[in-house]
Amino acid sequence: MNAMNRLALAISLAFPLVGHAGEVEVLHWWTSGGEKRAADTLQKLVEQKGHTWKDFAVAGGGGEAAMTVLKTRAVSGNPPSAAQIKGPDIQEWGELGLLADLDEVAEQGRWDELLPRQVTEVMQYDGSYVAVPVNVHRVNWLWVNPEVFEKAGAQPPTTLDELWAAADRLQAAGYIAIAHGGQPWQDGTVFEDLALSILGPEDYHKAFVDLDEEVLTGDRMVQAFAALKKLRSYVDADAAGRDWNRATGLVIDGKAGMQIMGDWAKSEWTAANKKAGEDYQCLPFPGTQGSFAYNIDSLAMFKLSDEDDRKAQEDLARTVIEPEFQQVFNQNKGSIPVRLDQDMSAFDSCAQKSMQDFKQAAQGEGLQPSLAHGMAASSYVQGAVFDVVTNFFNDPNADPQQAARQLAAAIQAVQ
Amino acid sequence: MSDVSVAQRRSSDVLLPPGEGGAKRRMRAMSLSRLAIHATLILACALYLVPLVVMLLTSFKTPEDIRTGNLLSWPEAFTLIGWIKAWGVVGSYFWNSVMIVVPAVLISTVMGALNGYVLSMWRFRGSQLFFGLLLFGCFLPFQVILLPASFTLGKLGLANTTTGLVLVHVVYGLAFTTLFFRNFYVSVPEALVRAARLDGAGFFTIFGRILLPMSIPTIMVCLIWQFTQIWNDFLFGVVFASGDTQPITVALNNLVNTSTGIKEYNVDMAAAMIAGLPTLVVYVLAGKYFLRGLTSGAVKG
Amino acid sequence: MSSVAVFSPKASHGRSTDWLQAWLPKLVLAPSVVIVLVGFYAYILWTLLLSFTNSRFMPSYKWVGLAQYMRLMENDRWWVASQNLLVFGGLFIAISLCLGVLLAVLLDQRIRAEGAIRTIYLYPMALSMIVTGTAWQWLLNPGLGLDKLLRDWGWEGFRFDWLVDPDRVVYCLVMAAVWQASGFVMALFLAGLRGVDPSIVRAAQVDGASLPTIYLRIVLPSLRPVFFSSLMILAHIAIKSFDLVAAMTAGGPGYASDLPAMFMYTHTFTRGQMGLGAASAMLMLGAVLAILVPYLYSELRTKRHE
């Protein structure tokens, strides 16, 4: 309600203010409870700087609808100030010559020092900043309900073998071993975690960033598919089409033992008044300790003609990096701040652990872009992988060897 | 509603067998078959109503109630929380939809009527071809035209304006509105128009004095059809309207299709009901005109 | 196309009004002609052009010939989508027609609450596909919907999981779509039935024909134009049922319930495969053309001879 009032106020204020201060129109898909609160924070901070915020939320399918809108807006020659674009897609937009240069803001804000190198690389096109990072999600988490584990006599797993053992126990005790939602991106998320676990970060990089055919068709990729097939047997029959948050709900309600999901799952636990470390545990996905599959949300800035709007846009970029916004936003969203110097004391134990792992992984090979969340490869490669993985996952007679070949062929086809 | 006579003729007046000899036996067979007819119709009613009943029941439940109960379980306590919350989210978009729908429906209906008039009464070389081209347009998947249309709107300076959205709805509603009117006017005796013509009446006079007064049922069909189509549109709304001018279907999608966070099904269902209410009301209240219009040939061949 | 001039523009007015009267119909139609040529056909041509390019993220004009069509032919998902459209479209149109006709005929037998019943059959058409999809997704959801309802009512072994079964999910789409559109078909046929000339029926009755025979042999065949309209509208709905799939299954499980419209949309807008998307759109249009044009042509021809 509160958020709505504020939105209404913003809309009513929008008209008299036009012409004086700048206006930022932000296309995003932060529409759920926690995300909405997070986006409202950004709006409030931008408005405090005297600008007008024109909210442009388009929900649905991880931003699919929003991307359609963005493309038509760009084609009509009238893009918004900023849009939620991430990963390699930023490069695609940069290539079209549509993105604004943020180097000045970045220099003033010392982005180069504050942000890890892996993050800044994604935000730059042709050596210039064109986007501002909002947060860092970790994808390779395993969420465990310790009460269910205890009742089933299962141990929190640290290796894949232990994962299967725990799943067997859970299943024998009558629980759904692994809560899962059968949607392509969720299937992809699980597959990515298995691949990271079995291939290791270096080969993962070769496979999904360099698209190395040898690794893609290699033995261990076949193993990853075989593991996905095995994992399928621990998922209940009704998983198809289930939203991830309903899967999380199964774990919260004690009907399922665990869920493989990124750290946005935490917002569900928080909303159910559960405490990290007590009521639920967050573990790195078995076999991926020391690795950090990241999913960075970012706002790409579009070239604008109006000088006031351009100022407002720059202020938006500044605001996003500020510690105040980083804290509120990330606490609401379950992710961790992008700033390495952020004070983490106000965050819960999962976020603190995540930050620690992030810094450590950033030193070596461990920090890897998430494929399922569009960080590793362009949207066409991602789509091709989803098709193969989700088809494999839903076909009881699928052959892992063949799937690995199909994967390489599908990636080849969209290059 | 039952007294509404949509027909020029009650068909059963004719289809009942003539009550002469052997009437009794026939009557018994008749009543048995009539029982079967009524039973089938009522069963079908129940099936058609289930989704609506489920949506309504759900919208009055608490989230807790939804989790523990089932589809058709009665709410433990009727609560308006879902409706209030839903109105808070989608309410302000409701009026946006009204602003879009009213001009778009009116313009496309007027254009459809004029087109239909020309295509039936003033045919010229190529007019049939044009009609064929227009009909084929009904089958164009709208996803195809998103990019070129937004490019055109950008060039016209109408990108992300309500005007632009109205224009798009007019353009892509034209095929059906023209079809409705053309098919009705084709059934009007040409002699009527020819006589007026001989009396010296012009193009618009004939249209305004003779055809328009008799097209009321067709106009109703057209208005109802267009109202439903445009009110329910999502694709054009999400693409061609921006931020705070978006229609209610986009707001509904933002609410229902949010893939993260808690799912409040009662709010979802209430919002869906709010978004569907105007069209539902139109169908319930104006349904008889709709059928009357169909009867008078709007959609006949 | 021979022109049928209902009015010969010859009257006892001056030359300028003559000229105006002759041109007025064309002038009135002109905006629509422009709209149709630009809004439909220029855009289709543009899409055709894109289908011969390697457009990915945004339109580009690098010519690749038929390469996109070849890729489409090799694409597993495209075949699943096309097959689904055949199954979905065929069943949806057939069932909606049968059900609509049946209900219309039954309703035509002097039913007391006809108005109310009619409204009940018709109301689903008022809802948007998004609402329909959302409602049915919930109804058919195993564990939440009907499945649970019947088990709660004591049918322990009941299991209805078509929505999550890759082989059967397309039938769920059919169910929802039939629910939405069959009432409309009913309304069309009811309207048609009211327009049938009573004397034909009376003559048949005098000959001793039974009611079902009269309907099957005489009444329904005379409603050929209504079949045509219904078919047009149903085919229009079937080809465009993008919203329904999006709201109900999003194409899943896997991509088992994908339809060409969904395929085209995903590849054009979210996958950065605009050329492939354009090629799929052209194939869709081609299929419509192949089925529709002969039919449309014959219908329009016979109309003119009336």
Residue B165, pLDDT score:
92
Q: How far apart are CA B135 and CA B129, in angstroms?
A: 10
Q: B89 with B116, same domain?
A: yes
Q: pLDDT by residue (tens digit) across A226-240? A: 999 999 999 998 888
**Residue of B146, B258, B265, B267 to mutate for A, most A C-beta atoms under 10 A:** B258
Q: B218 with B159, same domain?
A: yes
Q: Decide if B136 and C296 are in contact by the 8 Å CB cutoff.
A: yes
- How would you label B86-114 residue by residue, b for 16+ Cβ within 10 Å and e otherwise? bbbbbbbbbebbeebbebbbebbbebbbb
User: Domain for residue B16, yes or no?
Assistant: no
| Residue C26 and residue B124 in contact, taking contact as beta carbons nearer than 8 Å | yes
Q: ipTM score of the complex?
A: 0.81
Set of chain C residues whose Cβ sits within 8 Å of the Cβ of B37: 106, 109, 111
Average pLDDT, integer, range B254-277: 78
Q: B265 with B239, same domain?
A: yes
Task: Using DSSP, state whether C280 is helix, strand or coil.
Answer: helix
Q: Decide if C270 and A68 are in contact by the 8 Å CB cutoff.
A: yes
Could you tell me how far CA C70 lies from the centroid of its own chain? 28
Set of chain C residues whose Cβ sits within 8 Å of the Cβ of A96: 57-58
Q: Decide if C273 and A380 are in contact by the 8 Å CB cutoff.
A: yes
Of B151, B240, B258, the CB nearest to A59: B258
Token pair 């005790």 is found at A173
Q: pLDDT by residue (tens digit) across A95-108? A: 888 999 999 999 99
User: Domain for residue B5, yes or no?
Assistant: no
From first CA to last CA, the distance across chain B in angstroms is 28
Q: Would you call A395 an interface residue with chain C, using a CB distance cutoff of 8 Å?
A: yes
- What residue numbers bound the domain in which C140 lies? 76-305
Q: pLDDT by residue (tens digit) across B52-102? A: 988 888 889 887 777 677 777 788 888 888 899 889 888 889 999 999 999
Q: B151 with B259, same domain?
A: yes
Q: Is pLDDT at B30 greater than 80 in this prediction?
A: no
Q: pLDDT by residue (tens digit) across A157-205? A: 999 999 999 999 999 999 999 999 888 889 999 999 999 999 999 999 9
State the DSSP code for C38.
I
Residue B189, pLDDT score:
85
Q: Decide if C149 and B45 are in contact by the 8 Å CB cutoff.
A: no
Task: Using DSSP, state whether B166 is helix, strand or coil.
Answer: helix
Q: B114 with B70, same domain?
A: no
Q: Decide if C266 and A64 are in contact by the 8 Å CB cutoff.
A: yes
Pairing relationship of beta strands A256-260 and A176-179 according to DSSP bridges: parallel
Q: B33 with B99, same domain?
A: no
State the DSSP code for A63.
G
Q: B62 with B175, same domain?
A: no
The CATH number of the domain holding residue C157 is 1.10.3720.10
CB pairs under 8 A between A and C: 92
Residue C271 Cα, gap to closest chain A Cα (Å): 5
User: Domain for residue C47, yes or no?
Assistant: no
Q: B31 with B163, same domain?
A: no
Q: How far is CA C78 from CA A224, A260, C82, C285, C291, in A?
A: 26, 30, 6, 15, 20
Q: B101 with B248, same domain?
A: yes
Q: What is the mean pLDDT of chain B?
A: 81
Q: How far is CA A93 from CA A378, B294, C135, C276, in A?
A: 11, 50, 37, 20
Give A236-239's long-range contacts (Cβ < 8 A, gap of 24+): A236/A176, A236/A179, A236/A180, A237/C142, A237/C161, A237/C164, A238/C141, A238/C142, A238/C143, A238/C161, A238/C164, A239/A180, A239/A181, A239/A182, A239/C164
List of domains in chain A: 2-136+295-352 (3.40.190.10), 141-293+371-414 (3.40.190.10)
Q: pLDDT by residue (tens digit) across A253-298? A: 999 999 999 998 888 888 788 998 899 999 999 999 999 999 999 9
Give Cβ neighbours of residue C176 (< 8 Å, ≥ 6 apart). Answer: C132, C133, C136, C244, C248
Residue B25, pLDDT score:
59
Give Cβ neighbours of residue B259 (< 8 Å, ≥ 6 apart). Answer: A32, A59, A60, A61, A62, A243, A244, A245
User: Domain for residue C281, yes or no?
Assistant: yes
Closest to A67 measured CA to CA, from A78, A76, A58: A58
- What residue numbers bound the domain in which B194 lies? 81-295
Q: Is pLDDT at A3 greater than 60 in this prediction?
A: no
Average pLDDT, integer, range B201-205: 86
Q: How many domains does chain B have?
A: 2
Q: Could you tell me what percent of chain A has a pLDDT over 70?
A: 94
**pTM recorded for the entire structure:** 0.83
Token pair recorded at residue A159: 């290796």
Q: How far apart are CA A384 and CA A414, in angstroms?
A: 7
CB count, 10 Å around CB of B181? 28
Residue C128 binned pLDDT confidence (cut-offs 50, 70, 90): confident
Residue C247 binned pLDDT confidence (cut-offs 50, 70, 90): confident
Residue B24, pLDDT score:
59
What's chain A's length in residues? 415
User: Domain for residue B12, yes or no?
Assistant: no
**Residue of A183, A243, A382 to mutate for C, most C C-beta atoms under 10 A:** A183
Q: B284 with B155, same domain?
A: yes
Give Cβ neighbours of residue A342 (< 8 Å, ≥ 6 apart). Answer: A323, A326, A327, A355
- Mean pLDDT is lowest, of B2-16, B179-193, B199-213, C225-239, for B2-16
Q: B102 with B43, same domain?
A: no
Residue B259 binned pLDDT confidence (cut-offs 50, 70, 90): low
Q: How far apart are CA C93 and CA C110, in angstroms?
A: 27
| Residue B239 and residue B165 in contact, taking contact as beta carbons nearer than 8 Å | no
Q: Could you tell me what percent of chain C has a pLDDT over 70?
A: 92
